[in-house]
Chains A and B, each alone.
Chain A
Amino acid sequence: MKISGNYRFSWSSFLLAGLMFGLIFGLMSCEEEIPFNPEAQEKRLVINSIQEEGDLFSVHLSESVPILFTNFGENVIVKDAELNLYGNGEFLETLAFTENDLYQTDSTRVAQGITYRLEASHPNYPEASASFRLPAPPNIILAELDDPIDQVHYPIDLTIADEPDVDNYYVLEIYTDGWVADPRLLSFTTNDPYLLYGSDPDPAGETSFFGRAMWSDAGRDGTSIPLQLEVELPFGGGLWIYVEVKCIPRNYYLYLLTVRDQQNTGFDPFAQPGIIDNQVEGGIGLFTGYSKSRESWFIQ
């Protein structure tokens, strides 16, 4: 073949062609599909249940969506499963499916001092089971609403006596009886390390919308935990303000922490994977409970 025209070889065109060829070749050859392990395609039972002391047991049961499925959609409720509840190893009751898409006990209520175990089975899914033990409610030994700093900022002193020789996990929530006056937890100070649920309290943001904080007694077992709170009521007084302290099992504490971590990860490619704590054997989710103590004040 004869090349016509005034073609002249040049090193720059040779280099350019080489670079382009290398780039194309590199991009084409550097991606490849790899098979996922078959277990990843398997759907599992998702148990979601948070019980308050004295309540009937109530369980939301759905199925997980394998990660390679393109459409996550709404939760698919699993309706015809068998859910058996055990207390301290003894069978207590089979939960019945109700019209509000929940499985519930008929008579068994959540109580302290009992290790509850829930076993869920369905022919289309691997069996799932989970357990928890309800902790004793927190002992609030001091709760004082101090004089307001101004029209909307209220300091509260709170001291909790930590039960010794027990790993205690606490959640603190602040709320009011009026929807237009949801408080914001502006500051949460203590001499000990603590963890906040959500990011730091931010008066401009919504992260402390429900005024929630959480911490564990690790490293200060059995000592009183003094807290200084500053609450903002953006729309002033004329309502009740409630401060609720919950004692939660470790599985609930880890779940709250790790869900927060995963949600904070967002789309940050440099973030560590947010792996949510899962204590459900054979399945996924959370089966837990809490006991609580509450203080309230009426704000003029």
Chain B
Amino acid sequence: MNLRRITKVLLLGIYFSTGAWAQEGSEKFTISGYVLEQASGDYLPGASVYLPEESTGTSTNVYGFYSLTLPAGPHLLRFSFVGFAPVDTLMDLRANLSYNAQLLGTTLNEVEVSEKRNAQDQLKSTQMSMVQLPVENIGEIPLFLGEQDILKVAQLMPGIQSGTEGTSGLFVRGGSPDQNLILLDGVPVYNANHLFGFFSVFNPDAIQSVDIYKGGFPARFGGRLSSVIDVRMKEGNAKDFEGVFSMGLVAGKFTLEGPTLSEKGSFMVSARRTYIDALTRPFTALVTDGEAGGGYFFQDFNFKVNHRFNENHRIFASCYLGDDKAAFRSDYSFTYAEERTQSELKWGNLTGALRWNWRITPKLFANTTANYSRYRMTTGFESYYNNAGDISETQYAYSSGIEDVALKIDVDYLPNPNHHVRFGGQFINHTFTPGVNQFYNTESGAPPLEIKFGNAISYADEWAVYVEDDWQIGTRFKVNAGFHVSGFGFDSTQYVSAQPRISMRWAANERWSWKASYVWMTQYIHLLSNVGIGLPTDLWLPTTKSVTPMQAQQVALGWVFEPAKGYSLSMEGYYKNMDNVLEYKNGASFFANSNWEQLVEQGLGWSYGLEVLAEKKVGDFTGWIGYTLSWSWRQFDELNSGEKFPYRFDRRHDISVSGIYQLSQMKSFGLVWVYGTGAAASLPVANYGEVQHYSMTPIPQVFSNNLAYYENRNGYRMPAYHRLDLSYNKKKITKGGNEAMWSFGVYNVYNRINPFFLYVQDNNGDNLNELIKVGLFPVIPYLNYQLRF
């Protein structure tokens, strides 16, 4: 302890011992400001502002803002954040004060910083069923093809399950992927997948934090039943320029951040593109003799900039643009004929947000956001055929998507250290394009044919208001209670829903605490998905008069325990009940081109389970083991004879083991092992004859074995899924003083054939067919290079 701190403590001791504080305690003043990282100028969300002498305090909000209203007089404030040296400041409150604290980073490694922050939050916060992903060390965890993917890391957490092999789809506590609200800087992202779900749209180099809420949703969140995935882009280093460049098997990435010219803000720009098309182009040209070609790529672009006008006003602008594009062309010439075809499939998201932080008073902080989000899928086909002068031309185009324009305001009110009140509201205008087809054909000598068909574009309005209070009652008990009221209007149909939310924490001591929560959630938009792996053909659709909003109620009970420094154990049990969940009807298909409302059924869903997460956060070996025991059911009047059936991704056991071993300061070894009960599938087991009877025929007619018999919907279990991935990472300081990292890894080390789909194969020469499982990914090595400058 240095001399200044000893002096402060002594002064405080004298002050309190003389009882001077008691005379001045009747009048109160507010100290407010921001907590920042000294090196980069980054604002630190979740930093602690604690008064050790008075055993009270608060923490910064997501924009690094804090506010404390205290009795007049001197107070010792301790600003701290894991991974940073705490700063003690003595404040003599005689009026409202504004104070920004700057913290200096310590030598803790990034893993420890991330994990310890997580553990602290878990013990102290009322928030349960929430995980913070270790974004900082994601590069050292072995991943599919070496491509860093935050959603793949999320799948390693208990209660969050993957769908089929290699895909980024998230199934949270028995919910479907459309029940996840995926926010990028507060803006919904409607299709978070690239390459048919094998990669997510989030470029980890551009991401600062990922918080996933599986339950215990605070009132400020709404609109989905099962999870909120809150992804925040980096603000950018406000003091120095820095960047990252990396190349892997699949894609190359580049990120640059630094202060703006005015030095009152910062920016971050990041781009990623795959080069599958560039690699395959020479081979397709070789095989087709140049007469055909095609390719596939995806790309992402992230940009964020902020500007601080003064202590009270700050604005942020951020955008994301991502596209997938697959194209094919052919051009054949014959003696008397010429044929040209061209086809294209393109899909992607565009999001943008303009945010304004306003410290209205020292106790009142407002964040106003205008945002835009668009997901669009288009596909087209063109052909030209010239047969000795007879020309035929055909064009077909299909488009679908969703577009949102929204305005949102969130206000933080901190009247005293025991209350953190949040309130606000939002309005969203949705535009749905649920599948519009255009067909054009012309032939020599015939009038052109032009047809437009499909579902009409439709519009809907969604609004919500909320209020919640994080209330410290005594030293052990804390409660977060609130209400979320939302509404939805489509045509003349209006829906309103009032959703109570409550979360509680009882801290038994410094080492363990109990938590409980109850939430009610309502969802007004639905995703029609055929296979649930995030195909671009998935359709977002509104609640209508006949398709009613989905609703869910979830209760959870949890226990958080820190047995020793650097270790934590948490357990949670939950039960979730869902009404009006959607399923495709028997035999329904995306390609049916019928009115979508006639393709779906609404029914019940319920899931329950137990989640265990054991973590080791310090030392040479860090990592976690997650285990989920769960059940997930569905029941629909018109499906499976009205009987309950397992959800397609019902998974009884789900285990993930993830670890990083630091061989030295510059070398590390990563491991991931996952195991999951096999997915449920519907398979026919027999054939039999159909009976038919029409009034005009005298007797019923029985056909020959023309029907397939399924015992139950999702009545068959695929083999269990398991896989081991390994990685070896080596860092090196280059001559220029930059940090370079090579990562070598192997996906699916023991070459497990995990089933992606099953089919029946005709076995010639035998009287029996075979059931074949098809896996997508055998053992795959990868190499990745990253340079930080």
The answer to whether A284 and B773 have CB atoms under 8 Å apart is no
Q: How far is the CA of A74 from the CA of B689 in the complex (A)?
A: 9
Is residue A168 contacting chain B, with contact meaning CB distance below 8 A? no
Instruction: Pick from A15, A70, A244, A246 the residue with the most CB of B within 10 Å.
Output: A70
Assess the B778–A26 pair: CB atoms within 8 A: yes
Note all chain A residues with C-beta closer than 8 A to B770.
33, 68
- A128-B152 Cα distance, complex, nearest whole Å: 48
Contact with A along B597-639 (1 / 0, CB 8 A): 0000000000000000000000000000000000000000011
Q: Is the CB–CB distance between B694 and A48 below 8 Å? A: no
Stretch of A105-113, A129-137, A270-278 on the interface side: A270-278
Residues of A in contact (CB 8 Å), total 73
A65 touches B687 (CB 8 A): yes
Q: Are B702 and A30 in contact (CB under 8 A)?
A: no
B residues near A292, Cβ cutoff 8 Å: 695
Tell me whether B586 and A258 are in contact (CB under 8 A). Answer: yes
Q: Does A299 contact B (CB under 8 A)?
A: no
CA distance A31 to B777 in the complex (A): 10
List residues of chain B with CB within 8 A of the CB of A30.
Answer: 753, 774-778
Give the Cβ gap from B423 to chain A, nearest Cβ, in Å. Answer: 39
Q: Quick check: is B262 within 8 A (CB to CB) of the other chain? A: no
Which B741-782 residues have C-beta < 8 A from chain A?
A: 751, 753, 755, 758, 760, 762-763, 766-780
- B688 touches which of A64, A212, A277, A279 (Cβ 8 Å): A64
**B713 is an interface residue with CB less than 8 A from chain A:** yes
Given contacts A50-B700, A65-B705, A75-B702, contact A32 B686 (CB under 8 A): no
Q: A191 near B: Cβ within 8 Å?
A: no
Question: Is A60 in contact with B691, judged by CB distance below 8 angstroms?
Answer: yes
Q: Which residue of A lies closest to B699 (CB)?
A: A58
- Interface flag for A25 (CB, 8 Å): yes
Is B591 engaged at the interface, CB distance under 8 Å to the other chain? yes
Closest to B774 in A: A31
Query: A270-B531, A272-B586 are known contacts. Are A278 and B772 too (CB-CB below 8 A)?
Result: no
A72→B590 contact, CB < 8 A: no
Chain A residues within 8 Å of B763, by CB: 70
Interface 1/0 per residue, A17-48 and B, CB below 8 Å: 00100100110011111111101100110101
Whether B530 is near chain A, meaning CB under 8 Å from some CB there, is: yes
**SS of B interface (majority):** loop
Q: Are B688 and A265 in contact (CB under 8 A)?
A: no
A151 to B760, CA, bound (A): 52
- Indicate whether A154 reaches chain B with its CB closer than 8 angstroms: no
Per-position binary interface string of chain B over residues 664-689, scored 1 when its CB falls under 8 Å from any chain A CB and 0 otherwise: 00000000000000000011111111
CB distance from B708 to the nearest CB of A (A): 7
A86 at the interface (CB under 8 A from B): no
Closest A residue to B165 by beta carbon equals: A30
Q: Mark A73-111, 1 if CB is under 8 A from B, else 0.
A: 111000000000000000000000000000000000000
Q: 1/0 per position for A263-300, CB-CB distance to B under 8 A?
A: 11100101111111111000011100000100000000
A286 to B685: give the CA distance in the assembly, Å: 18
- Report which residue of B589, B684, B688, B772 has the largest number of chain A beta carbons within 10 angstroms of its beta carbon: B688
B771 touches A36 (CB 8 A): yes
Residues facing A in B283-329 (CB within 8 A) are: 283
Name the residue of chain B whose CB is nearest to the CB of A193: B546
| Contact with A273, one of B586, B688, B768, B769 (Cβ below 8 angstroms) | B586
B769 touching A69 by the CB < 8 A rule?
Answer: yes
Contacts of A260 in B (CB 8 A): 587
Q: Is there an interface contact between B688 and A46, defined as CB atoms closer than 8 Å?
A: yes
- Is B707's beta carbon under 8 Å from chain A? yes
In the complex, the chain A residue whose C-beta lies closest to that of B748 is A29
Chain A residues, Cβ within 8 Å of B777: 26, 30
A249: min CB distance to chain B, Å = 13
| Chain B proximity of A15: nearest CB distance (Å) | 8
With CB as the reference atom, state the residue of chain B lying closest to A179: B696
User: Do B707 and A73 touch across chains, with their CB atoms under 8 A apart?
Assistant: no
Identify the closest chain B residue to A182 (Cβ): B696
Verify if B585 is at the interface (C-beta below 8 Å from A).
yes
Residues on B with beta carbons closer than 8 Å to the beta carbon of A34:
719, 755, 758, 771-773
Give the residue name and chain of the A residue nearest to B685 (CB). A40
Q: A60-B700, A62-B689, A64-B686 are in contact. Are A261 and B587 (CB under 8 A)?
A: yes
* Contact assessment for A70 and B686 in the assembled complex, using a CB-CB cutoff below 8 Å: no
Closest to A16 in B: B283
Q: Collect the chain A residues with CB atoms within 8 Å of residue B690's CB.
A: 48, 259
Measured between C-beta atoms, what is the minimum distance from B570 to chain A in Å? 36
Residues of A within 8 A of B719 (CB): 34
In the complex the two chains form, is B775's CB within 8 Å of A68's CB? Answer: no
Q: Which residues of A contact B710 (CB under 8 A)?
A: 273, 275-276
> Among B283, B684, B716, B766, which residue has its beta carbon within 8 angstroms of that of A70?
B766
Known: A64-B687, A286-B691. A31 touches B773 (CB 8 A): yes
A219 to chain B, nearest CB (A): 10
Q: Is the CB of B694 within 8 A of A175?
A: yes
In the complex, A274→B696 CA distance in Å? 28
CB–CB B775/A32 < 8 A: yes
Let me know if B592 is at the binding interface, CB within 8 A: yes
From B282, which residue of chain A is reached at the shortest CB distance? A12
How far is B767's CA from A68's CA once the two chains are assembled, in angstroms? 8
Known A26-B778, A268-B589: A68·B769 in contact at CB below 8 Å = yes
Q: Is there an interface contact between B641 and A254, defined as CB atoms closer than 8 Å?
A: yes
A118 within 8 A of B: no
A33 near B771: Cβ-Cβ < 8 Å: yes
Nearest CB to that of A258 among chain B residues?
B586
**CB of A223 within 8 Å of the partner chain:** no
**Which residue of A257, A278, A286 contacts B638 across the interface (Cβ within 8 Å)?**
A257
Q: Is A64 a contact of B709 with CB atoms below 8 Å? A: yes
For A12, what are the chain B residues with a Cβ–Cβ distance below 8 Å? Answer: 282
Does the CB pair A65–B586 fall under 8 Å? no
**A32-B753, A68-B760, A257-B638 as given contacts; A276 in contact with B700, CB under 8 Å:** no
CB distance from A185 to the nearest CB of B (A): 13
With contacts A48-B702, A49-B700, A50-B693 taken as known, whether A29 is within 8 angstroms of B778 at the C-beta atoms is: yes
A67 to B683, CA, bound (A): 9
Cβ–Cβ contact A262 & B707, under 8 A: yes
User: Who on chain B is nearest to A174 by CB?
Assistant: B695
Query: Which one, B589, B694, B712, contacts A271 given CB within 8 A?
Result: B589
Residues of A within 8 A of B683 (CB): 67
B337 at the interface (CB under 8 A from A): no
Q: How far is the CA of A228 from the CA of B455 in the complex (A)?
A: 25
B interface with A by C-beta (< 8 Å): 279, 282-283, 530-531, 537, 546, 583-592, 638-641, 682-691, 693-696, 699-700, 702, 704-705, 707-713, 716, 719, 751, 753, 755, 758, 760, 762-763, 766-780
Cross-chain pairs A/B with CB under 8 angstroms, 11 sampled = A29-B753, A30-B777, A40-B686, A44-B686, A58-B700, A62-B688, A68-B768, A257-B638, A270-B537, A276-B710, A286-B691
User: Which 3 pairs show the lowest CB-CB distances between chains A and B?
Assistant: A261-B587, A274-B587, A271-B589
Residues in chain A within 8 A of chain B (CB atoms): 12, 15-16, 19, 22, 25-26, 29-37, 39-40, 43-44, 46, 48-50, 58, 60, 62, 64-75, 173, 175, 182, 193, 210, 212, 242, 244, 246, 254, 257-265, 268, 270-279, 284-286, 292
